[in-house]
Structure 1
Amino acid sequence: MNAGRAEEVALLALGWLVGNDDLLPVFQGASGASADDLRAGAQDPAFLASVVDFLMMDDAWVISVSDHLGLPYDTLFQVRQNLPGGDLPNWT
Protein backbone atom coordinates (compact mmCIF):
# COMPACT_ATOMS: atom_id res chain seq x y z
CA MET A 1 0.00 0.00 0.00
CA ASN A 2 1.37 3.41 -0.92
CA ALA A 3 0.13 6.90 -0.06
CA GLY A 4 -1.71 7.32 -3.37
CA ARG A 5 -3.63 4.06 -2.97
CA ALA A 6 -4.32 4.91 0.68
CA GLU A 7 -5.88 8.23 -0.33
CA GLU A 8 -7.95 6.48 -2.99
CA VAL A 9 -9.34 3.92 -0.54
CA ALA A 10 -9.93 6.60 2.11
CA LEU A 11 -11.87 8.63 -0.44
CA LEU A 12 -14.00 5.58 -1.22
CA ALA A 13 -14.57 5.15 2.52
CA LEU A 14 -15.63 8.80 2.74
CA GLY A 15 -18.09 8.18 -0.09
CA TRP A 16 -19.49 5.20 1.80
CA LEU A 17 -19.77 7.29 4.96
CA VAL A 18 -21.58 10.11 3.16
CA GLY A 19 -24.07 7.58 1.82
CA ASN A 20 -24.71 6.13 5.27
CA ASP A 21 -27.67 8.06 6.67
CA ASP A 22 -27.24 6.58 10.16
CA LEU A 23 -23.50 7.02 10.58
CA LEU A 24 -22.86 10.31 8.76
CA PRO A 25 -24.56 12.43 11.47
CA VAL A 26 -22.47 10.63 14.10
CA PHE A 27 -19.28 11.54 12.24
CA GLN A 28 -20.41 15.11 11.72
CA GLY A 29 -21.33 15.44 15.37
CA ALA A 30 -18.02 14.00 16.54
CA SER A 31 -15.88 15.98 14.10
CA GLY A 32 -17.91 19.16 13.67
CA ALA A 33 -17.60 18.72 9.89
CA SER A 34 -20.27 20.36 7.74
CA ALA A 35 -21.31 19.21 4.27
CA ASP A 36 -18.92 21.82 2.84
CA ASP A 37 -16.12 20.46 5.03
CA LEU A 38 -16.79 16.96 3.69
CA ARG A 39 -16.47 18.18 0.11
CA ALA A 40 -13.29 20.15 0.83
CA GLY A 41 -11.87 17.34 2.96
CA ALA A 42 -12.07 14.91 0.08
CA GLN A 43 -8.90 16.58 -1.26
CA ASP A 44 -7.08 16.65 2.09
CA PRO A 45 -5.14 13.54 3.14
CA ALA A 46 -5.25 14.62 6.81
CA PHE A 47 -9.05 14.89 6.69
CA LEU A 48 -9.27 11.51 4.98
CA ALA A 49 -7.11 10.12 7.80
CA SER A 50 -9.67 11.43 10.30
CA VAL A 51 -12.42 9.62 8.41
CA VAL A 52 -10.47 6.36 8.58
CA ASP A 53 -9.71 6.95 12.27
CA PHE A 54 -13.42 7.40 12.91
CA LEU A 55 -14.42 4.28 11.00
CA MET A 56 -11.82 2.18 12.81
CA MET A 57 -13.43 3.04 16.15
CA ASP A 58 -16.00 0.27 15.69
CA ASP A 59 -15.43 -3.20 14.27
CA ALA A 60 -18.94 -3.23 12.81
CA TRP A 61 -18.15 -0.08 10.81
CA VAL A 62 -14.87 -1.58 9.55
CA ILE A 63 -16.69 -4.73 8.47
CA SER A 64 -19.50 -2.80 6.81
CA VAL A 65 -17.31 -0.43 4.79
CA SER A 66 -14.86 -3.22 3.91
CA ASP A 67 -17.66 -5.48 2.70
CA HIS A 68 -19.18 -2.63 0.70
CA LEU A 69 -15.85 -1.84 -0.96
CA GLY A 70 -14.87 -5.50 -1.37
CA LEU A 71 -11.72 -5.11 0.70
CA PRO A 72 -10.07 -7.33 3.31
CA TYR A 73 -10.85 -6.23 6.86
CA ASP A 74 -7.29 -5.11 7.58
CA THR A 75 -7.19 -2.68 4.65
CA LEU A 76 -8.35 0.35 6.64
CA PHE A 77 -5.48 -0.22 9.07
CA GLN A 78 -3.04 -0.30 6.16
CA VAL A 79 -4.65 2.80 4.69
CA ARG A 80 -4.30 4.63 7.99
CA GLN A 81 -0.61 3.78 8.21
CA ASN A 82 -0.05 5.47 4.85
CA LEU A 83 -1.91 8.71 5.55
CA PRO A 84 -0.56 11.68 7.53
CA GLY A 85 0.05 10.80 11.18
CA GLY A 86 -0.43 7.09 10.62
CA ASP A 87 3.10 5.87 11.01
CA LEU A 88 3.52 3.70 14.06
CA PRO A 89 6.39 4.43 16.43
CA ASN A 90 9.14 1.88 16.75
CA TRP A 91 9.69 1.36 20.48
CA THR A 92 12.72 -0.90 20.13
Structure 2
Amino acid sequence: MPIEKAQEIATDALIHLTRDPEQVGRFLAVSGIGPESIRDAAEEPGFLAGVLEFYMADEAMLLAYCENSGIRPTMIAMARFALAGDPADYA
Protein backbone atom coordinates (compact mmCIF):
# COMPACT_ATOMS: atom_id res chain seq x y z
CA MET A 1 0.00 0.00 0.00
CA PRO A 2 1.39 3.41 -0.90
CA ILE A 3 2.25 5.61 2.09
CA GLU A 4 -0.15 8.30 0.86
CA LYS A 5 -3.09 5.85 0.94
CA ALA A 6 -2.04 4.65 4.40
CA GLN A 7 -1.91 8.23 5.65
CA GLU A 8 -5.35 8.90 4.15
CA ILE A 9 -6.85 5.88 5.93
CA ALA A 10 -5.20 6.78 9.24
CA THR A 11 -6.24 10.42 9.01
CA ASP A 12 -9.82 9.40 8.30
CA ALA A 13 -9.67 7.01 11.27
CA LEU A 14 -8.43 9.84 13.49
CA ILE A 15 -11.23 12.15 12.35
CA HIS A 16 -13.75 9.39 12.99
CA LEU A 17 -12.26 8.83 16.43
CA THR A 18 -12.58 12.50 17.39
CA ARG A 19 -16.35 12.27 16.86
CA ASP A 20 -16.69 9.94 19.86
CA PRO A 21 -15.73 11.77 23.09
CA GLU A 22 -15.43 8.54 25.08
CA GLN A 23 -13.12 6.85 22.58
CA VAL A 24 -11.01 9.94 21.95
CA GLY A 25 -10.61 10.32 25.72
CA ARG A 26 -9.45 6.71 25.94
CA PHE A 27 -7.07 7.24 23.01
CA LEU A 28 -5.56 10.34 24.60
CA ALA A 29 -5.11 8.50 27.89
CA VAL A 30 -3.43 5.54 26.19
CA SER A 31 -1.21 7.73 24.00
CA GLY A 32 -0.29 10.08 26.83
CA ILE A 33 -1.03 13.26 24.93
CA GLY A 34 -3.42 16.03 25.84
CA PRO A 35 -6.28 17.27 23.66
CA GLU A 36 -4.48 20.56 23.12
CA SER A 37 -1.50 18.83 21.52
CA ILE A 38 -3.24 16.33 19.24
CA ARG A 39 -2.60 18.44 16.12
CA ASP A 40 1.11 18.69 16.88
CA ALA A 41 1.30 15.00 17.72
CA ALA A 42 -0.38 14.10 14.42
CA GLU A 43 2.67 15.49 12.61
CA GLU A 44 5.06 13.21 14.51
CA PRO A 45 6.31 10.03 12.86
CA GLY A 46 4.43 7.03 14.13
CA PHE A 47 1.38 8.91 15.40
CA LEU A 48 -0.91 7.81 12.58
CA ALA A 49 0.31 4.23 12.96
CA GLY A 50 -0.60 4.53 16.65
CA VAL A 51 -4.12 5.60 15.71
CA LEU A 52 -4.50 2.46 13.63
CA GLU A 53 -3.03 0.31 16.39
CA PHE A 54 -5.61 1.78 18.76
CA TYR A 55 -8.39 0.60 16.45
CA MET A 56 -6.76 -2.79 16.01
CA ALA A 57 -6.73 -3.30 19.78
CA ASP A 58 -10.54 -3.01 19.95
CA GLU A 59 -12.27 -5.37 17.52
CA ALA A 60 -15.75 -3.90 17.97
CA MET A 61 -14.51 -0.37 17.35
CA LEU A 62 -12.42 -1.54 14.37
CA LEU A 63 -15.33 -3.34 12.75
CA ALA A 64 -17.70 -0.41 13.33
CA TYR A 65 -15.22 2.01 11.77
CA CYS A 66 -14.61 -0.27 8.79
CA GLU A 67 -18.32 -0.73 8.19
CA ASN A 68 -18.95 3.02 8.35
CA SER A 69 -15.98 3.76 6.08
CA GLY A 70 -16.55 0.99 3.57
CA ILE A 71 -13.11 -0.55 3.97
CA ARG A 72 -12.00 -4.03 4.99
CA PRO A 73 -10.34 -4.51 8.39
CA THR A 74 -7.28 -5.90 6.60
CA MET A 75 -6.81 -2.45 5.04
CA ILE A 76 -6.24 -1.06 8.53
CA ALA A 77 -3.49 -3.59 9.13
CA MET A 78 -1.96 -2.89 5.72
CA ALA A 79 -2.02 0.85 6.36
CA ARG A 80 -0.45 0.39 9.79
CA PHE A 81 2.31 -1.73 8.26
CA ALA A 82 2.92 0.89 5.54
CA LEU A 83 3.24 3.61 8.18
CA ALA A 84 5.36 1.82 10.78
CA GLY A 85 6.70 -1.41 9.33
CA ASP A 86 6.69 -4.83 10.92
CA PRO A 87 6.15 -4.85 14.73
CA ALA A 88 8.72 -7.66 14.92
CA ASP A 89 11.33 -5.11 13.93
CA TYR A 90 10.84 -3.43 17.32
CA ALA A 91 11.10 -6.56 19.48
Normalising by structure 2, what TM-score?
Answer: 0.85
Task: Report if aligned partners of 1:7, 1:45 keep a CA contact under 8 Å in 2.
Answer: no
Aligned pair 1:87/2:61, yes or no?
A: no
The percentage of aligned residue pairs carrying the same residue is 29
> In the TM superposition, what is the alpha-carbon distance from 1:69 to its structure 2 partner?
1.4
Q: Which runs of 5+ in 1 are unaligned?
A: none
Q: Name the counterpart of 1:39.
A: 39
Normalising by structure 1, what TM-score?
Answer: 0.84
Question: Which consecutive aligned stretches of 4+ in structure 1 deviate over 2 angstroms post-superposition?
Answer: 41-45, 86-90
Root-mean-square deviation (CA), in Å? 1.8
2:55 and 2:68 map into 1 onto residues whose CA distance is: 13
Q: Name the counterpart of 2:72.
A: 72
Q: What code does the residue aligned with 2:62 have?
A: V
Q: Which runs of 5+ in 2 are unaligned?
A: none
Q: How does 1:39-58 map to 2 (within 5 A)?
A: 39-58=39-58
